[in-house]
Amino acid sequence: MVTVEFSWKRETPEDFIVKEVAEYPLIPKGEHYLYILVKRNLTTKELARALGFSYAGMKDKLALTSQFVSFDRFLGELEKGKVDDESWYILKFIGRTQRKLKIGQLKGNRFAVNLRNFEREERDWFINYYDVQRVKNNSQRGKELLKKLFEKPKRKLKWSENFYIDAYLSYLWNKSLEKFLMERTKGHFICEKEELFFIPEKGFNYTTLPKFWTILGYKKKLLDSESYYREVLKEEGFEFEEFLELLRKLRIKGDYRMTYVKVKELKEIGSYLFFFLPKGSYATMFLKHVQRV
Catalytically active residues, by annotation: 60
- How many other C-beta atoms lie within 10 A of the C-beta of residue 234? 11
Angle between helices 159-182 and 226-236 (to 10 degrees): 120
Per this entry, what is the length of the chain? 293
d(CA 199, CA 6): 12
Single-letter code of the amino acid located at 165: I
Query: Left (φ > 0), alpha (ψ -120 to 50) or beta: where does 147 sit?
Result: alpha
Single-letter code of the amino acid located at 202: K
Q: Are 289 and 6 in contact (CB under 8 A)?
A: no
How many CA atoms does the CB half-sphere of 83 hold within 13 Å? Answer: 13
